[in-house]
């Protein structure tokens, strides 16, 4: 039973991995099921053995994305100095090569703006993410012996906005990365996190 479940799950992931690639390149509605099938190394008809329809695949991709973001936030708890790790990571994120996930992220947001089911997942995922980030920041400050913030949620919101804006910058201005910009970013985060 476990082996069969594993195999089923592996096949689902095979589809989803392929779907993520196709969706990233072509968008949710530009990528056809035929393309997904090719990329997954599976027949078109067989995809429907694992997913009810294309919309179910889209929903699964969105949920996966939410889970990844939450896992990333979780990993911050392992850092000795959480605040420094956040600041460091922001700069590192900015230096990432542009072939990462902003295309898929933007597609998810575009879909959320017009598909109520996706919007629900995105909103719930966001609620959990910002709660977790707020806790993480509070925890990091406590470790540093800094006083609790009265405006913790507000600062969290602005920090998230900044991170999300940086992602968009990678589409609009892919060459934005330089030392000065990273320095301003880190200084801004320092103000938001450590003062």
Contact 188, 105 (CB under 8 A): no
Closest CA to 163 of 143, 185, 147, 144: 185
Should residue 157 be labelled a site residue for a second copy when binding is judged by CB under 8 A?
A: yes
Contact 59, 121 (CB under 8 A): yes
Residue 48 partner contact from a second copy, DNA, none using kind-dependent CB cut-offs of 5 to 8 Å = DNA
Residue 84 partner contact from a second copy, DNA, none using kind-dependent CB cut-offs of 5 to 8 Å = none
Q: Quick one: which H or E segment has residue 191?
A: helix 179-194
Choice from 12, 84, 169, 194 touching a second copy (CB under 8 A): 169
**CA atoms of 50 and 12, how far apart (whole Å):** 6
Should residue 155 be labelled a site residue for a second copy when binding is judged by CB under 8 A?
A: yes
Stretch that binds a second copy, among 9-17, 48-56, 98-106, 133-141 (CB under 8 A): 98-106
Should residue 38 be labelled a site residue for DNA when binding is judged by CB under 7 A?
A: no
**CA atoms of 188 and 102, how far apart (whole Å):** 22
Looking at the Cβ atoms of 132 and 155, the one nearer to a second copy is 155
Q: Write the CA distances from 68 to 56, 78, 92, 101, 141, integer angstroms.
A: 18, 16, 18, 12, 24
Should residue 184 be labelled a site residue for a second copy when binding is judged by CB under 8 A?
A: yes
Should residue 7 be labelled a site residue for a second copy when binding is judged by CB under 8 A?
A: no
**Cβ-Cβ contacts under 8 Å for 43 (sequence gap 6 or more):** 37
Q: Contact residues for a second copy (CB under 8 A)?
A: 25-27, 29-30, 102-103, 106-107, 109-110, 112-114, 122-123, 126-127, 130, 151, 153-155, 157-158, 160-166, 168-169, 171-174, 176, 178, 180-181, 183-185, 188, 191-192
């Amino acid at each position: 039973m476990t082996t069969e479940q594993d195999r089923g799950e592996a096949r689902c992931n095979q589809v989803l991995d392929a779907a993520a690639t196709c969706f990233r390149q072509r968008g949710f509605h530009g990528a056809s099921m035929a393309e997904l099938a090719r990329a997954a190394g599976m027949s078109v008809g067989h995809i429907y053995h694992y997913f009810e329809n294309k919309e179910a695949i889209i929903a699964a991709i969105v949920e996966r994305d939410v889970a990844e973001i939450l896992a990333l936030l979780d990993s911050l708890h392992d850092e000795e100095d959480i605040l420094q790790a956040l600041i460091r990571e922001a700069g590192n994120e900015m230096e990432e090569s542009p072939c990462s996930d902003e295309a898929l992220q933007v597609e998810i947001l575009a879909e959320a703006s017009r598909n109520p089911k996706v919007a629900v997942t995105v909103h719930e995922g966001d609620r959990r993410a910002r709660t977790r980030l707020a806790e993480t920041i509070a925890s990091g400050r406590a470790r540093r012996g800094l006083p609790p913030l009265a405006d913790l949620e507000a600062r969290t919101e602005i920090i998230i906005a900044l991170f999300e804006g940086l992602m968009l910058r990678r589409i609009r201005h892919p060459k934005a990365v330089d030392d000065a910009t990273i320095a301003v970013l880190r200084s801004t985060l320092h103000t938001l996190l450590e003062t």
